[in-house]
């Protein structure tokens, strides 16, 4: 199928055209992150207003790129390509949740309008499930050997969610565990703020951690690894934020004239979060006898997390395939939305679709 994917759950406005759930024909993204950097976090109404401004140009550019015309302003003579691309679309896939309601509505209502105009079905897509499908965007629709083998265990780590699921087959998912409080991305974002680092915290912590001199074998950790030994597959990251606050305040005490060792803190925060994610996920992989481990979501762009999974899976000879999308497909974008719709094709008419900000990965 040829699917137009639309993603507007947070501060990205994105559209992609994807063939057979594997080949990206176009990939366009506008973000209002620069505006949120100034405020140190997302202001939902501002994010939604930016979505309204960007949605039509972004979709238009995605269609033009896929039709081979390029650019988002219609060039003379390119309209026929665009029309034939539109008529070749099998459906429109759109994120309907979870996310910020104002942002979600922009994508959902635009998809419904296009569906009405073009007489195409709409596939409502769960944003969290879609993150996993970034692993199917191999670029090669004919060689099915390249795609992940099922059953798999998947870890979705994003700004608002941390979920471990067992993917028996497409459309057959079982919940294994998840965070009881803050998500992994949220832990990066909140602790970064305590260190005075900019939003979004994940990339800022990763960058600061890279300046920390490579620790010797005697590296002394000083933050907790929450729930790492518990006999379940749940996570909890809110205590980490409190622990960082306590440690940081030692440096901010009037009697302290030591500068805050930002890169050491960043390194330790990244170690603490990634240690827990790796340990619990690999335990789930073993217990569920998965053939593949799939990493997904914005935090999956973290190179230390990717490296730890790679090393543990290789060194422990776990005999499983480890898949993680390229970093630009881990963070929010529309290509996985279209891929997810290909493998979970449940089209609806526009009247049946509405945004659901509180959707969980199991809906
Ligand atoms: O999936 P995503 O793009 O948006 C949501 O669905 O939430 O994830 C955003 C989260 C943010 O918390 C951000 O700090 C984190 O992903 N993130 C990272 C990195 N890049 C983005 N966390 C750690 N290391 C990174 N390189
Ligand atoms: Zn996301």
User: In terms of domains, do 250 and 189 share one?
Assistant: yes
User: Rounded to whole angstroms, how far apart are CA atoms 178 and 214?
Assistant: 31
Q: Which two tokens stand for residue 148?
A: 């992940």
300 inside domain: yes
User: In terms of domains, do 260 and 164 share one?
Assistant: yes
pLDDT tens-digit profile, the chain (363 residues):
999 999 999 999 999 999 999 999 999 999 988 888 888 888 999 999 999 999 999 999 999 999 985 444 445 556 678 888 999 999 999 999 999 999 999 999 999 999 999 999 999 999 999 999 999 998 887 888 789 999 999 999 999 999 999 999 999 999 999 999 999 999 999 999 999 999 999 999 999 999 998 877 788 999 999 999 999 999 999 999 999 999 999 888 778 778 889 999 999 999 999 999 999 999 999 999 999 999 999 999 999 999 999 999 999 888 999 999 999 999 999 999 999 999 999 999 999 999 999 999 998
The CA 249 to ligand 1 mean position distance, Å, reads 26
Atom of ligand 1 nearest to the CA of 301: 26
User: In terms of domains, do 185 and 291 share one?
Assistant: yes
The CA 158 to ligand 1 mean position distance, Å, reads 5
Q: Which two tokens stand for residue 250?
A: 């030692």
362 inside domain: no
The pLDDT value given to residue 73: 43
The response to whether residue 97 sits with its C-beta less than 6 Å from ligand 1 reads no
User: In terms of domains, do 216 and 285 share one?
Assistant: yes
User: In terms of domains, do 215 and 339 share one?
Assistant: no
The pLDDT value given to residue 128: 98
The response to whether residue 102 sits with its C-beta less than 6 Å from ligand 1 reads no
Q: Residue with the nearest Cα to atom 8 of ligand 1?
A: 298
The response to whether residue 21 sits with its C-beta less than 6 Å from ligand 1 reads no
The CA 167 to ligand 1 mean position distance, Å, reads 22
The pLDDT value given to residue 71: 43
SS3 of 161-198: the string is CEEEEEEEECCEEEEEEEECCCCHHHHHHHHHHHCCCC
User: In terms of domains, do 124 and 241 share one?
Assistant: no
The response to whether residue 11 sits with its C-beta less than 6 Å from ligand 1 reads no
User: In terms of domains, do 172 and 115 share one?
Assistant: no
CATH classification at residue 8: 3.30.420.40
The pLDDT value given to residue 68: 83
User: In terms of domains, do 167 and 79 share one?
Assistant: no
283 inside domain: yes
Atom of ligand 1 nearest to the CA of 184: 12
The response to whether residue 332 sits with its C-beta less than 6 Å from ligand 1 reads yes
Q: How many domains does the chain have?
A: 2
Q: Is the pTM of this model over 0.75?
A: yes
User: In terms of domains, do 274 and 346 share one?
Assistant: no
User: In terms of domains, do 133 and 216 share one?
Assistant: no
282 inside domain: yes
The response to whether residue 202 sits with its C-beta less than 6 Å from ligand 1 reads yes
Atom of ligand 1 nearest to the CA of 188: 14
363 inside domain: no
The pLDDT value given to residue 69: 52
Q: What is the residue range of 104's domain?
A: 2-137+329-352
302 inside domain: yes
User: In terms of domains, do 219 and 333 share one?
Assistant: no
147 inside domain: no
247 inside domain: yes
User: In terms of domains, do 131 and 52 share one?
Assistant: yes
């Amino acid at each position: 199928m040829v699917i137009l994917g639309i993603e507007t759950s947070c501060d990205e406005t994105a559209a992609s055209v994807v063939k057979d759930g594997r080949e990206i024909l176009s990939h366009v993204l506008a973000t209002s992150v620069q505006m949120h950097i100034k405020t140190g976090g997302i202001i939902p109404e501002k994010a939604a207003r930016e979505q309204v401004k960007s949605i039509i140009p972004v979709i238009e550019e995605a269609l033009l790129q896929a039709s081979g015309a390029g650019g988002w302003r219609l060039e003379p003579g390119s309209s026929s390509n665009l029309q034939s691309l539109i008529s070749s679309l099998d459906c429109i896939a759109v994120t309907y949740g979870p996310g910020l309601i104002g942002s979600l509505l922009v994508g959902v209502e635009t998809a419904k309008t296009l569906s009405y105009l073009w007489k195409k079905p709409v596939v409502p897509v769960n944003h969290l499930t879609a993150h996993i499908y970034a692993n199917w965007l191999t670029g090669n629709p004919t060689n099915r050997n390249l795609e992940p083998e099922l059953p798999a265990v998947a870890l979705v780590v994003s700004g608002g969610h941390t979920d471990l699921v067992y993917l028996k087959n497409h459309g057959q998912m079982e919940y294994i565990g998840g965070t009881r409080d803050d998500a992994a991305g949220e832990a990066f974002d909140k602790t970064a703020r305590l260190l005075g680092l900019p939003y979004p915290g994940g990339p800022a912590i990763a960058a600061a951690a890279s300046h920390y001199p490579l620790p010797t074998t005697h590296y002394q950790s000083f933050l907790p690894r929450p729930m790492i030994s518990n006999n379940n597959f749940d996570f909890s990251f809110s205590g980490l934020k409190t622990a960082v606050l306590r440690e940081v305040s030692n440096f901010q005490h009037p009697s302290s004239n030591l500068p805050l060792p930002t890169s050491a803190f960043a390194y330790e925060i990244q170690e603490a979060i990634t240690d827990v994610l790796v340990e619990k996920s690999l335990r789930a992989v073993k217990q569920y006898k998965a053939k593949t481990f799939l990493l997904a979501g914005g935090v999956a762009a973290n190179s230390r997390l990717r490296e730890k999974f790679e090393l543990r899976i290789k060194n422990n000879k776990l005999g499983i395939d480890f898949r993680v999308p390229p970093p630009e497909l881990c963070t929010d974008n529309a290509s996985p939305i279209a891929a997810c719709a290909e493998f979970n094709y449940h089209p609806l008419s526009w009247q049946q679709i509405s945004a659901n900000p509180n959707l969980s990965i199991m809906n």
